[in-house]
Structure 1
């Protein structure tokens, strides 16, 4: 029996946050080609309480359907598996795999049984799943509904149900008998297609590095943790952006923090992809190096990056325009320190008498006097030396 190794699946807390990742292997029953059909539309259009609409936009479009074995045991396993398939399809350029646009669809079959039982009870097929998260929620609801039905003695009918996102529940669409209810019609004019091992090997050799392989390489090569590496390879453009920034800046961990933090936030706010960003990975690497050199501090860097993202300007140009290049000359900073000490005699006396909490006050005064441009570490070093005198 063919097996498909899904990337990983995670145990999650009540909020859906991953706690521990584990390998998961799912059996494949078959993959077959179909022609997409028209569909009835019962919501989202005017007067759906009176009319049913028919959408023929995708009628006749070829599609491939992967049918898995009943190997899933939780809604989150299904969520992780579909995301894995979706990511791989996007990665190799086979499909945009956008569920909201119909590039990818998932129809989940749910059946529950008591612990120790070996047979399967009636299953329910879930449709109208427009996102992977909707799918997970629909499965979770259906599991609870079926458990309650069995425990009450009502039982579960074999049927197709729709997910209602507004009500957060499934509702019946139609009943069904068995597999023949799908009404598949084989195409008699299509002859068997035999694929040679050599052809498969050529295709494999031409494929790009897949996300799971890249994730493992990011962990081994760049010292990233599993969570960060997994987020980066969730999108091919984001992964390539990170790797370029990491290579040029020579600081992969800081590059990962920026890409998963400020860069991802700006992308989400703007609705852009990494490939559409005006700020290139080379630009981000320049900013990272600038921070490491002490020319600007982290807070300034975030302000600079926001401007870079909005305008496409390089870091040096934005820093110059804002006049925020950090002062790292100890002699120049020492003048600010001496001024602060001279103007705050009472606080100096209190500090020297044991009030250590005032140290932050002195740092703040020096930063204020330098308009936030003084290198904070040099400020601290000079204050520690001069306040002891």
Structure 2
């Protein structure tokens, strides 16, 4: 009897990091077959291909090559492109991760064809329906058969929304699985770790930021439309970052959409604010793991900084990951540039007052590097009955 087949859906950069632990867990378990389906949502080398190589993901079994256009156009293209593969394979389950357009599109296609859906990172809620990700995650949860949650608040949201208890499975976070795995590889100091360090240093040297690593520095990432699409907001944030960089050198790997907006506005970085191209996962980890402070609007970095005890300011008005504030090192700064600057300076004052005392690391429950194994165990138990 053939092993049950899973379709693992990859679309955008965060998905790759969440799927890598699942692939390792599936290989170790051996009871389930799987195919990796790449929708193409992130398709260029800087945002996609390099991650497959360094995360240990095999080449996709299927590439749908859907990218570009707005949310409706991309979602519709993935719906159409994925359907024939579902009909041909009739997998036992479609496994989607996170909250990007690929997540919702593939979940919808599978469910309409009677294929059960497993949602990894279910139940997260920001309460902000202007975020495309909030719509994607709510809609995906509404049709999913397995709801694998990362933190207690996610399970609580699902229960309040009336999801049946047997579908809610608290497993921890596969993003943290990947972080701990990759951190171990960096600390091993092998050839791959040395190459990652060299890539990071080369990017810094190219941006004239080589000296930043000699002392205390911060890391910035910004990509959400609410921060980068409105010219006045982006200009205000860049001014705030420039002012902060007078005290703390800042390293800013720039997402392609953010770089396009900066170029269109003619905004040049202030001294001390060093713009880099997007970095592969491991070189970026080699940088931010040593940062004194991270400023970001990324959900993933809120979690990863919490896992390593690195102070983080989230440049958003809300978070769907409240455990990073309750137990971790994250603070919600909002999007007002003056407030972001004031809170960043306050955080640096606190760090100065603490001196050499390390920031305590308090990881949320089940953030122990075994989340993917728990997911595979549950799927195998249900599908092999």
TM-score for both structures, normalised by structure 2:
0.27
TM-score for both structures, normalised by structure 1:
0.27
| Greater relative contact order, per chain length (Cα 8 Å cut-off, separation 6+) | 2
**Structure exhibiting the larger radius of gyration computed from Cα positions:** 1
